[in-house]
Structure formats: structure tokens, C-alpha cells
Amino acid sequence: MTPPAPGLVLATAADLERLLPLVAAYHAYEGIGFDDDTRRRVLGPLLEGPQLGRVWLITLGGELAGYVAVCFGYSIEFRGRDAFLDEVFVVERHRGKGVGGAALEQVCHECAVLGVHALHLEVARDNGAARRLYAGAGFEARQRYHLMTRRLACGAPDAAAGGSGR
């Protein structure tokens, strides 16, 4: 019997409490040192309005199976709106069953409808399973480029403290 296909539900501010345990599990897995108050503060603006991005809940047979967070940007090189696939998390018992790949296909479709020309992501070099998942979903490494980041102290309470652990 074929398992049911995962569904995507656009998350809103009303979903914050349902989303927090999933985000906390992802942060624990990735070693991102946020507490729930910080998670609430950074997720709130993303859930409250469409200008920053989207968060989708992944559902499977009526059960919450994960989430995907996409944050919008703009790129001259990519001719307009681009986005960063910021966080993808599938509950452990649903991994390896095609849930993540199917959800990514749906997210790519949704992003295209929203006018996103390119979707970027960052993946740990040693996370072979995630790299295979993303490659299978059509993401390609840009060998000529290396993602670099500079944290800026912009007035946020934890910006100067180092934030995410990425």
C-alpha cells in the first residue's frame, strides 16, 4: 500500500504553539542554541505577514510531520525575487519515506507561484542524507561559490551574542 502524500498547510501566527516543538527539535538536531522565547520572537514576524517569507506545516494523514521555512530576498543575478530555504524538518519517524522530497516539490511549486526565481539552501557538508534529499529535489551545489556570513549587531537582543550556532 502506498503511503499518503504529505500536505502543506501555510502556517500563521495561530500555529506558533504547534510549530514551536518542531522548531525546537530541529534546533536541537542542528545545535542551534535558541530558547523558546527567542524562537517565538524570530518566528512571529515570519508568521504574521507575507512580506518576509512563508512557513508551511507538513501534514501526513492529519498528523503534523514537519515544517519548511522560506525567507524572501532579491537577487540581481537571478533576475528578481529569490528565497532561502531556511529550515526544513521532518519528524524522525517519517524520514526516509519520501515525505521531505514530496514537501520540497510542493514548496518549490509554491515559491514559483509567488514569483521566486531561485531557491537557495545551506546544508552541512557531513549530512549525506540531507544532501541526497536536496539533490533529488533538483538543488545543485554552486561549486564556484562559497556561502559566507557576517553577523551584524542590528539592535536585536541576541544579535551580538552569536545567535544560531550555524
Q: Mean pLDDT across the stretch 105-125?
A: 95
Per-residue pLDDT at 147: 87
The string of pLDDT tens digits covering residues 36-87 is 999 999 999 999 988 999 999 999 988 999 999 999 999 999 999 999 999 9
Grid cell digits, residue 53: 517569507
> Is 23:67 a contact under the CB 8 Å cutoff?
yes
Per-residue pLDDT, 166: 43
| CA gap 124, 29 in Å, rounded | 12
What are the two backbone dihedrals, phi and then psi, of residue 21, each rounded to the nearest 5 degrees? -65, -35
Q: Residue 158: its pLDDT value, please?
A: 55
164 pLDDT above the threshold of 70? no
Residue 1 pLDDT level (bands cut at 50, 70, 90): low
- Record the pTM: 0.87
Q: Do residues 84 and 76 make contact, with C-beta atoms less than 8 angstroms apart?
A: no
Quickly tell me which residue has 504574521 as its cell.
48
